[in-house]
Structure 1
Amino acid sequence: MSDITIRRLDDGFDPWDELLDLILTSFAYMNGRIDPPSSALALTPANLKAKALNEIAYAALDGEQLVGCIFCRPEAESLYVGKLAVLPAAQGKGIGKRLLALAEATARDLGLKDLRLETRIELIDNHATFTAWGFRKTTENRHAGFDRTTSIEMRKAIA
């Protein structure tokens, strides 16, 4: 992998189809493992663009190839992190950590006290990764219509 560059997603960004493919490819391992299915499956290029422009979103590129992304939404006290995705072939190279470091810097700039994310209860490998990155489990949640825990919330304090 050559040098990875990270850019903010704005009106000048065009390959929304490619970004959607990146997210769907990165989240494909969840298909059949989580219930309800990932909200990523409902994304389209148009609503992905709207999401990026309404939130704070970044893409990681290896040359011209999209290899990762992160979407952040400011809340009252936290920066919510969603759709953190890295192509499977690019995982383990620090791209996810770089994107989260950018989220931390964004939270600091906005005066927010922590990062907040949700991950599905079935994805224990994600729980371990986020714990290793300084997140801690704060609560369990359930999706509408479910009588069991379907996700956990994790937070990371911003120094």
Structure 2
Amino acid sequence: MSEPRLRRATDDDVDGIERLVVAAFDRYVERIGKPPAPMTADYDELLHTSRVWVIDHGREIVGVLVTQDHSDHLLLDVVAVAPTAQGGGHGRALLERADLDARELGLPEIRLCTNAAMTENLEYYPRRGFHETGRGVQDGYHRVFFAKAP
């Protein structure tokens, strides 16, 4: 079997990205009371407005990262790993790719937000060097904001 490969996403990946996002975020729908924001994103549009990376393993996309240049920081818009591939270092690889995106773009900070109901993320991101910068309601979601230097 082939090794997982991190690469830029293409138009041919949109269906696989959408399947992965549903698999990764579906468990949070009940906790939040509605689909998490990544489940409602337009990945076809994001391919043309953001940097979209995937990890493919064979014919399956097992990870996705969407980053956006906001002139003074890099926003991690989506980070997702397939439930069947979690624990394999894919999340770390995607966050390392985000660090590279920020450095390539000359941006001094990486920011992200997660839903307060995604308690696993509230522990995960600080272990990856992020610090909490605030909490609030944004776009109808209870968010926790994080930042770090690349």
| Structure 1 length-normalised TM | 0.87
Deviation at 1:137, TM superposition (A): 0.2
1:109 is paired with a residue whose SS is helix
CA change 1:118–1:35 in 2 (3 A) is: farther
Q: Distance in 2 between matches of 1:77 and 1:153?
A: 16
Code of the aligned partner of 2:57: D
Q: Deviations over 1:58-106 (max 9, x none)?
A: 0001122110000000112110002211000100110011011011011
Q: Distance in 1 between matches of 2:115 and 2:101?
A: 25
Q: Distance in 1 between matches of 2:61 and 2:39?
A: 19
The match for 2:19 is: 21
CA change 1:35–1:76 in 2 (3 A) is: farther
Tell me if structure 2 keeps the 8 A contact 1:23–1:83.
no
Code of the aligned partner of 1:41: M
The match for 2:145 is: 153
Q: Distance in 2 between matches of 1:85 and 1:63?
A: 18
> Which residue of 33, 39, 44 maps to 1:41?
39
Higher helix share: 2
Q: Distance in 2 between matches of 1:133 and 1:93?
A: 15
| Structure 2 length-normalised TM | 0.92
Q: Distance in 2 between matches of 1:6 and 1:30?
A: 26
The match for 1:3 is: 3
2:138 is paired with a residue whose SS is coil
Q: Deviations over 1:15-74 (max 9, x none)?
A: 32221010111011111111554123324xxx3111122100100011221100000001
Identity of aligned residues (%): 27
RMSD of aligned residue pairs (Cα, Å): 1.8
Deviation at 1:116, TM superposition (A): 0.5
Are residues 1:72 and 2:67 paired?
yes
Code of the aligned partner of 2:121: N
Larger radius of gyration: 1
CA change 1:145–1:85 in 2 (3 A) is: closer
CA change 1:41–1:98 in 2 (3 A) is: closer
User: What is the count of residue pairs matched by the alignment?
Assistant: 150
**Structure 2: which 5+ residue stretches go unaligned?**
none
